[in-house]
Structure 1
């Protein structure tokens, strides 16, 4: 069973393109990406886990969550939903923050567009483009284990979809 994982970084354009197939209908995949109880089950690469503190899935709404390490260390992430086309796409602006959602002054911002589509055979595709503000940030993500962590998280999602 192949998932056709694509991870391409373009340092000049300051973008990362991620594409991944899932063996589940697009409605089920959409729910897994847009319901916090489901997101918390797969978004963190193991052995990390995720915990949502705030969730408002509306344009201008906020998702505040922590990635929690095995020692209890929390890395807080703030994402603001900038556009939502229910069932087919949503966009966010994200950055690292403190536990209250206050941005870390030196934290880089990223802009993400997630598009969902149906494929033959009751499968679906998620196509993501992440744009960064500066070259040092794209380099950090492109060269610092983000690809491997993303692959692990999406494998977690495969397991969740199979169990649902």
Structure 2
């Protein structure tokens, strides 16, 4: 078994449109990275920052499906839900994302998996929101910590097979 190399998660706010772009490489083929995003038993093991407990109400990752999950910490609950608009195995997930604490703030998210060869994958995720103010509030919410720690946790799940 090889040691997983640490990859940086790049998070950038687009200056032209209210969009956040996340780029990250993984030492696993696209099929494994895709499965980790679509299998609820795996999703619950890595999504979000360390220290939060996650439970999934439902997770039907297919074109036309939907999801809802809750993160808990210290008696606080944070619910999230959305719909899967397009799911193409090993390459693409298009979904909506709503934090229930801000129900009017719906993001349109697109996750693209690129096969880099040698069992490696580049993930590019974009989140488009209604306004630059919403985008900046999304960034200010601490999402960066959750994304970075979540992808570190995903590295651990992928390394376990």
Q: Name the TM-score, length of structure 2 as normaliser.
A: 0.90
> Aligned to 1:156, which of 111, 136, 153?
153
Contact 1:11 1:139 in 2 (8 A): no
> Aligned to 2:132, which of 127, 132, 135?
135
- Paired with 1:105 and 1:152, the residues of 2 have a C-alpha distance of 23
- Paired with 1:163 and 1:32, the residues of 2 have a C-alpha distance of 12
- Listed as ranges, the gaps of 5+ residues in structure 2 are none
Q: Deviations over 1:66-115 (max 9, x none)?
A: 0111x132211011001112221010111123xxxxxx675311010001
Contact 2:31 2:89 in 1 (8 A): no
How does 1:1-164 map onto structure 2 within 5 Å? Answer: 1-69=5-73, 71-97=74-100, 106-164=103-161
Contact 2:25 2:121 in 1 (8 A): yes
- Paired with 2:12 and 2:104, the residues of 1 have a C-alpha distance of 23
Q: Which deviates the most, 13-22 or 137-146?
A: 137-146
- Alpha-carbon distance, 1:11 to partner: 4.9
CA RMSD of superposed structures (Å) = 1.6
- Paired with 1:53 and 1:109, the residues of 2 have a C-alpha distance of 19
Q: Summarize the Cα distance change of 1:87–1:136 in structure 2 as closer, same or farther, 3 Å threshold.
A: same
Q: How many residues align?
A: 157
In structure 2, the partner of 1:100 is none
Contact 1:11 1:138 in 2 (8 A): no
- Listed as ranges, the gaps of 5+ residues in structure 1 are 98-103
